[in-house]
Amino acid sequence: MSITLSGLARSFGTARAIDNLSADIPTGCFFTVLGPSGCGKSTLLRLIAGLDPLDAGTIALEGRRVAGAGLHLPPEARGVGVVFQSYALWPHMDVLGNVAFPLEAAGLSRATARAQAAAHLDSVALAGMAQRRPSDLSGGQRQRVALARCLASGARIVLMDEPLANLDPHLRAAMEDEMAAFHRRAGATTLFITHDQREAMALSDLVAVMRDGRFEQIATPQDVHDRPANAFVAGFIGRGTVLDVRVTAVQPGCARLHLPSAVQIESRAVDAVMGPGQVLLRPTDLRVDPDGLPARVLSGTYRGDHWETRMAVEGVMPPLLMTLPSRVPPGQTLSVRITGGWLLPGA
Amino acid sequence: MGDEIGAAPGMGPGLRSLFGAPLLLLLVLAVATVLFVVPLAAVLRLAVFAPGGGVDGFVAAMSSRSVQRALWHSFESSALAAALATVIGGGLGLLIGLGDLRGRGAMSFAILMLMTIPPHVTAIAWMQMTGPSSALLQAFGLAPSPGATNSLYGRDGVIGLLALQQVPIVYLTLRAALRVLPRDLAEAARVNGARPWRVMLRVILPLLRPALLAGFALAFVSALGNFGVPALLGIPGRYVTLPVLMWQRLASSGPSVLADLAVLASLIGGVAALAVWAQMRLTRAYGVALIGLPQQPLQMTLGRARPAIEVGLWLLLALVGVAPFLAMLATALVPTYGVPLTLDSVTLRHFHQVIHAQDVTARAFANSAGLALAAGGIVAVLAVGLGGLLRDRLAPGARCVMLLAELAYAVPGLVISIAFIIAFLKPLPGIGVSLYGTHAIILGAYLAAFLAIALKPVSVAYGALDPALQDAARVSGAGFWRRLARIDVPLVAPAAASGAVLVMLTAWNEVTLSSILWTRGTETLGTVIFNYEDGGYSTLASAMSVISVLVTLALMALLGRVGRSLPPGIIPWRG
């Protein structure tokens, strides 16, 4: 394991920013911490980097304990790289000076450090910008300088704090590709913090969904979406509806559910238990079908290539969401069949 | 700086980290102990525990007629001068801060000049303008006959010039408050149907009340510690304030009266501390929390009154800011005091005298220049170091030192110099040499009294830095000293430089501290000018004052250049 977190806690006053959080992050993994603002994800990054002290728990990096009872290794001794949200480029140094700084801090002479840094600058395609000041660069260029500085530090663990949040949307998509390339090239374990689930889905090997200082689920992007651990994750990721149901039959990998309106459906499930439960219905779990249930259209929202349509089914609350290729006026009734779903294991 | 990376294998991270911030804090605390704790403790010890000190000492001092009178004079002159300064400085601040006047930067600079020209030089300049040789008064046939008592001598002159000296303090405080006053508060009142005068009386002035109170208290404390004005105008007019009384006692009896002086110093320090405390209480009680984002500062159109107001302001500034110095220049250019300045009588003899002929003046120029440079440099380094600790876990230690510096700045200068004499008159243990009579004791007093001046711009600059710049250096593997040297110092250097120049200005112009601490060989510019004027050599005093004012102007111009790239709030008359 590259990063091992066990029982981390950190409070500010009475507020618990990190609350008994544990995780193992495999070497080379692109690990994304995804959560709403204020969930403690930036605090977690600062604890791992050593920028803030722990209240309780231990942190081990590459098998070496760096923080725990009576131990707090300062950030400069932890050997992690950090890409800051504001990029934190030093305005009084030129681009090459910024990239060379970690090498200098490692003991190289200024000239040697600059020579070696040039290669890293080259790898982010900024070789021609070496003498520029950070203030003369565009947002995307600054981002790449920050990445080059991270590369130059040679860190095997890279922490990124919402590095794409300050870029405009079309640049963000381009930088996502660069991030992925950067991760492949550096091969470093990357802990990436974001509140943007699209970024998390696109980049990650593993996603940790965070709320109120703890991880609600750690899984691959697809599992987080298709097999959320609880109602919070189900509601936070993607679109869909969670319904209260009764489990009436259990088979390996699936369960038979009873909706309140006496409708019966089959859903995917793991270790289902008979009795009350909750099912997540994604829009893709609903289909227009002549044999289906009558569903009255409430509203439609255009999402670019489809219409996300909210509809009420007799006896089912709340309204269900499904995608339709074209607009259906509110008030009209369709016949809809529920073809699947995911029984929430935590319910 | 290899200690941070290539540490010996046996050396734990805990031990290694002690060479970072804790080492710097230790150095800073050691300096602070020498500058603040030892001298102030020495005063209190002497005032409380020495024979003749303690309660008996205070009772004895308070029952002395001359002390009672001096204490009353100090209080009266400071309070009245502060009140006058609040009215004038407040009015100027409102007019220039709110009105759409042209040349507001130049007006601000002219008002600030009143503060940078030292009190004793201002006093000399005004004495020349109102004295028998005044070209201004001669032109109106109002000049007093030679030998007549100057009308500025005595209570009214002291209060008037003290007020003039404090006008910029109130002006600056008010301008700073106006700058953060959201304009929509006044606009909301206008939209609700209030005419400009009502807006002024019901919205703007109430919001500015804390600033006016703060300005009054600052002016009071500053006037309380003033030495140059009451010494030059008060002594001949038999209006002796407490600082002047202390100086007279030391001058007539030497250090043997130290216990007596310690009592007086504690007395005046107590009054100053009381005023600072009252100001803080009042500001909090009347403080109005302003909500809203920073925005365009409030502005009002003066309409047709604008040209008249502009002319009036410039005439006023010319009268109080320029005329006295022209009068002083005239005095410096005539062969003997009282001779009218004509093309025939003009001479540069006195300039030649003070630059070449007199040993003592040459020494004073050299001493003051050296002391000012050293004080500015050291204070800037201390301020950068202290600021660098502010983001560390050890910040409370650094804040203590900053508080001591603020305290030393608020306490009248005479208290600081008396404290330094008391603390360092005795030979230093180990070396067996006394600091008294050396440049070091004056430098020490400068550092103690002026550290706060440089701390302000430097802490503003530190506060404006993105904390992530530090964090990025930490995770890049840079230890404390490398971060300080490569990240902090370059980024706050402009602010530190302007802080250094502000301190140099203050040290170059001061007389209060060195009037007590100087000895033969360590004369400063201020003491020599003061002694010449005191001894009746007005022409030489004027010539030296002219040179010192020119140097001051050059330093201010330099500061303007240094500060061009700085955020507003660092250079007093910019922004």
In sign, the C-alpha dihedral spanning B388, B391, B392, B393 is positive
Q: Please tell me the distance from the alpha carbon of residue B469 to that of residue B456, in angstroms, as a whole number.
A: 21
> Are B562 and B501 spatial neighbours (Cβ–Cβ below 8 Å)?
yes
The predicted complex's ipTM stands at: 0.82
The contacts of residue B283 (CB under 8 Å, 6+ apart) are B210, B213, B214
Residues A308 and A213 in one domain: no
CATH number at residue A159: 3.40.50.300
pLDDT in tens, chain B (575 residues): 333 333 333 334 455 566 788 899 999 999 999 999 999 888 888 888 877 667 777 787 888 888 899 999 999 999 999 999 999 999 999 988 888 888 888 888 888 888 878 888 888 888 888 877 776 777 677 777 777 778 889 999 999 999 999 999 899 888 878 877 777 777 777 788 777 778 888 888 888 888 888 889 889 988 998 998 999 999 988 999 999 998 888 888 766 677 788 888 888 888 888 887 877 777 666 555 555 444 556 777 777 888 999 999 999 988 888 888 888 888 888 888 777 778 888 888 888 888 888 888 889 999 999 999 999 999 999 999 998 888 778 888 888 898 889 888 888 888 899 899 889 988 887 787 888 889 999 999 999 999 998 888 888 888 888 889 999 999 999 988 999 999 999 888 888 888 888 899 889 989 989 988 988 889 999 999 999 988 888 889 999 999 998 988 888 888 777 766 665 555 666 54
Among B residues 471-490, those touching chain A with beta carbons less than 8 Å apart: 471-479, 482, 486-487, 490
CA distances from B191 to A5, B117, B186, B188 (A): 59, 44, 9, 5
Residue closest to A191 by CA, chosen among A3, A56, A21: A3
- DSSP annotation string for A292-310: EEEEEEEEEEE-SSSEEEE
- Is A101 in Cβ contact with B473 (below 8 Å)? yes
B5 touches chain A (CB under 8 A): yes
Q: Please tell me the distance from the alpha carbon of residue B533 to that of residue B122, in angstroms, as a whole number.
A: 12
Task: Tell me which H or E stretch contains B471.
Answer: helix B467-475
Among B residues 353-392, those touching chain A with beta carbons less than 8 Å apart: none
- Is A79 in Cβ contact with B476 (below 8 Å)? no
Looking at residue B4, its pLDDT comes to 35
A70 touches chain B (CB under 8 A): no
Residues A165 and A293 in one domain: no
At A19, phi and psi to the nearest 5? -130, 95
- DSSP annotation string for A171-238: HHHHHHHHHHHHHHHH--EEEEEES-HHHHHHH-SEEEEEETTEEEEEE-HHHHHHS-SSHHHHHHSS
Residue closest to B348 by CA, chosen among B52, B95, B546: B546
Residues A36 and A138 in one domain: yes
Structure tokens at A42: 């930036």
B224 touches chain A (CB under 8 A): no
Cβ neighbour number for residue A64 with a 10 Å cutoff: 11
- Chain A residue numbers touching B479 (CB-CB < 8 A): 76, 105
Q: How many CB pairs under 8 A join A and B?
A: 79
Residues A7 and A105 in one domain: yes
> Are A59 and A66 spatial neighbours (Cβ–Cβ below 8 Å)?
yes
Q: Please tell me the distance from the alpha carbon of residue A174 to that of residue A311, in angstroms, as a whole number.
A: 36
Q: Which residue of A has its CA nearest to B391?
A: A51
Q: Please tell me the distance from the alpha carbon of residue A185 to that of residue A179, in angstroms, as a whole number.
A: 10
Looking at residue B10, its pLDDT comes to 36
Looking at residue B158, its pLDDT comes to 95
Structural domain boundaries in chain B = 20-57+348-575, 64-297+307-346
Give the CA count within 13 Å in the CB-facing half-sphere of B69: 10
Strand, coil or helix: what is B53?
coil
Burial of B468 (C-beta count, 10 Å sphere; 0-12/13-18/19+): middle
Pairing between β-strand A15-25 and β-strand A30-34 as defined by DSSP bridges = unpaired
Q: Please tell me the distance from the alpha carbon of residue A227 to that of residue A206, in angstroms, as a whole number.
A: 14
Domain topology for B64-297+307-346: MetI-like fold (1.10.3720)
* Residue B366 β-bridge partners: none
Residues A72 and A187 in one domain: yes
Residues A261 and A285 in one domain: yes
Q: Where are the alpha helices (DSSP H) in B117-199?
A: 119-130, 135-139, 155-179, 183-191, 196-199
- Is B5 in Cβ contact with A74 (below 8 Å)? no
Looking at residue B442, its pLDDT comes to 95
- Is A105 in Cβ contact with B482 (below 8 Å)? yes
Domain count, chain A: 2
In the listed set A231, A257, A284, which residue is the last one of a domain according to the structure? A231
Q: Please tell me the distance from the alpha carbon of residue B106 to that of residue B163, in angstroms, as a whole number.
A: 21
- Is B6 in Cβ contact with A82 (below 8 Å)? no
Q: In the block, which residue shows the tokens 């009680």? A: B285
Residues A69 and A209 in one domain: yes
> CB-CB: which of A78, A81, A86 is closest to B466?
A86
- DSSP annotation string for A263-275: -EEEEE-SS--SE
At B15, phi and psi to the nearest 5? -65, -40
Residues A180 and A248 in one domain: no
A12 touches chain B (CB under 8 A): no
> Are A273 and A245 spatial neighbours (Cβ–Cβ below 8 Å)?
no
B9 touches chain A (CB under 8 A): no
Min mean pLDDT across A107-121, A232-246, B137-151 is at B137-151
Residue closest to B254 by CA, chosen among B527, B520, B516, B534: B516
Among B residues 248-307, those touching chain A with beta carbons less than 8 Å apart: none
Beginning with the edge strand found earlier in the chain, give each strand of the sheet holding A333-338 in spatial order: A316-324, A307-313, A286-302, A333-338
Residues A72 and A165 in one domain: yes
- CA distance to partner chain B, nearest, from residue A189 (Å): 16
Beginning with the edge strand found earlier in the chain, give each strand of the sheet holding A30-34 in spatial order: A80-83, A157-161, A189-194, A30-34, A206-211, A214-219
- Chain B residue numbers touching A75 (CB-CB < 8 A): 471, 474-475
Looking at residue B208, its pLDDT comes to 85
Asked whether the predicted pLDDT for residue A261 surpasses 80, the reply is: no
Q: Please tell me the distance from the alpha carbon of residue A338 to that of residue A313, in angstroms, as a whole number.
A: 11
- Is A105 in Cβ contact with B478 (below 8 Å)? yes
> CB-CB: which of A74, A80, A85 is closest to B17?
A74
- CA distance to partner chain B, nearest, from residue A73 (Å): 7
Pairing between β-strand A342-343 and β-strand A275-281 as defined by DSSP bridges = antiparallel
Q: In the block, which residue shows the tokens 């032109």? A: B139
In the listed set A231, A258, A274, which residue is the last one of a domain according to the structure? A231
Q: CATH number of the domain at B20-57+348-575, out of 3.30.450.20, 1.20.200.10, 1.10.3720.10, 3.20.20.70? A: 1.10.3720.10
In the listed set A177, A197, A231, which residue is the last one of a domain according to the structure? A231
Residue A293 structural domain: 239-343
Q: Please tell me the distance from the alpha carbon of residue A212 to that of residue A36, in angstroms, as a whole number.
A: 9
Q: Please tell me the distance from the alpha carbon of residue B80 to that of residue B87, in angstroms, as a whole number.
A: 11
Residues A218 and A317 in one domain: no
> CB-CB: which of A73, A105, A107 is closest to B476?
A105
Q: Which residue of B has its CA nearest to A155?
A: B476
Looking at residue A55, its pLDDT comes to 93
- Chain A residue numbers touching B490 (CB-CB < 8 A): 92
> CB-CB: which of B4, B474, B491 is closest to A51?
B474
pLDDT tens per residue, range A272-288:
888 899 999 999 999 99
pLDDT tens per residue, range A312-329:
988 788 899 999 998 999
Residues A59-71 have a mean pLDDT of 91
Q: What pTM was computed for the model?
A: 0.81
Looking at residue B9, its pLDDT comes to 36
Confidence of residue A221 (pLDDT cuts 50, 70, 90): very high
Residues A133-153 have a mean pLDDT of 89
Q: Which residue of A has its CA nearest to B476?
A: A102
